[in-house]
Amino acid sequence: MKIAICGSMHFYQKMIDIQTKLEKQGFEVFRPRSFEEMGLINYDKYTQEEGKKLKVQYGLIKDYYKKILQSEAVLIINYEKRNIQGYIGGNTLMEMGFAFVNNRDIFMVNQIPDLQYKAEIESMKPIIIGEGFKKINKHYEELPKVYLSSQSKIKLEAVSLGLRDIGMKYQIIGLDVKSSVSEQPIGLDETIEGAENRITALKKQVDGKGKYEYLVSIESGLIYNSEKNNYFDIGVCIIENFKGERETSLSAGIHIPTDIAEDVIQGNLDLGPYVMKKYSAEEKDPVYIFTNKKITRAQLLQQAVSNCAAKFIK
């Protein structure tokens, strides 16, 4: 689970300390980096005008917006500044707005400050946690449960954010189950079969674990276009609600180079780990590699999850 820290850079050291505490609790944390940390300018030479230029030049506002979209929540760091208790500046207010309209949770360390835009902050209903950061864990533990037929970090992110994108907030629990198909499914039929096998196995595994809202299964596969000799990586998402009703959707697909696809097929390999090793990548994400690091597999699967889950909203 990911949290993006937001706040005035006046609280920079506090941000670092809080990041460490959150990471010890198991969260993945995004934190703003100072201009000095980025090697752009020394603070003894910093001016407001120079800071504005650097934000534009390096696209820092857009970059952090993307970090917020990748997160389940933002944590607003608001201590005393300029004799204002719980200070929240314009940039932080904007980031709160990013989180709010994208259905991300908003946690706040201290009470809402008495500022001219206090009403706007209140309307976003931030959750005040003080410095008891374990309250964040408690918040997520109390959400309704969704079980996923995988412990893949990519799939967990896709399910959590895909549901949030259509207004559904849940605690996502990943369990390791078998697809009972090839390591790398080939063709739409085998990919769907793998997803169906996973959700059937998942249902058996969660039996007796108590109440849940949905079961989710995701299976990625290679689809072949014989006319053009092209391969595409796609994902199949199946969601079943607690009543046993199922829906299925497909992700968008990206073109996989033919030589890569044929190596995977001939070696009975999994595309993700193979590409990760071949390109010395940090993540086993072929989508990220073959879209010039512009799109992730999680983003494509996230849309498939949204499309599938939306059918359950009455």
Per-domain residue ranges of the chain: 2-141, 145-312
SS3 90: helix
- pLDDT tens for 293-305 read 999 999 999 999 9
Sign of the CA dihedral 243, 252, 175, 167? Answer: negative
Residue 173 banded pLDDT, cuts 50, 70, 90 = very high
This prediction has a pTM of 0.90
Of 232, 275, 231, which Cα lies nearest the Cα of 254?
232
User: Each residue of 241-294: pLDDT tens digit?
Assistant: 999 999 999 999 999 999 999 999 999 899 999 999 999 988 889 999 999 999
Give the model's pLDDT for residue 229.
86
How is residue 89 written in tokens? 């500046």
Average pLDDT over residues 28-53: 71
Report the residue count for the chain. 314
Q: Is the pLDDT of residue 43 over 70?
A: no
Task: Encode pLDDT of 106-162 as tens digits.
Answer: 999 999 999 999 999 999 999 999 988 889 999 999 999 999 999 999 999 999 999
Report the percentage of the chain scoring pLDDT > 70: 94
Domain spanning 2-141: which CATH class is it, in words? Answer: alpha beta
Provide the angle, in degrees to the nearest 10, between the axes of the packed helices 297-309 and 153-164. 50
Confidence of residue 208 (pLDDT cuts 50, 70, 90): confident
CATH number of the domain located at residue range(s) 145-312 in this protein: 3.90.950.10
- Is residue 169 within 8 Å of residue 143, measured between CB atoms? yes
Q: What percentage of the chain's residues is helix, strand, coil (to nearest 5)?
A: 45, 20, 35
Out of 33-47, 138-152, 189-203, 219-233, least confident range: 33-47
Which residues touch 147 (CB under 8 Å, ≥6 apart)? 173, 174, 175, 202, 206, 209, 212, 214, 215, 216
**CA 71, 97, 110: angle at the middle one, nearest 5?**
80
In sequence order, the 6+-apart residues with CB closer than 8 A to the CB of 138 are: none
Place of tokens 């400050």: 113
Give CA torsion, residues 86, 88, 93, 95, to 10 deg.
-90
CB under 8 Å to 190, separation ≥6 — which residues?
A: 181, 182, 221
pLDDT score for 54? 72
pLDDT above 70 for 36: no
Burial 142-177 (b: 16+ CB within 10 A, else e): eeebbbbbbebebbbbbbbbbbbbeebbbbbebbeb
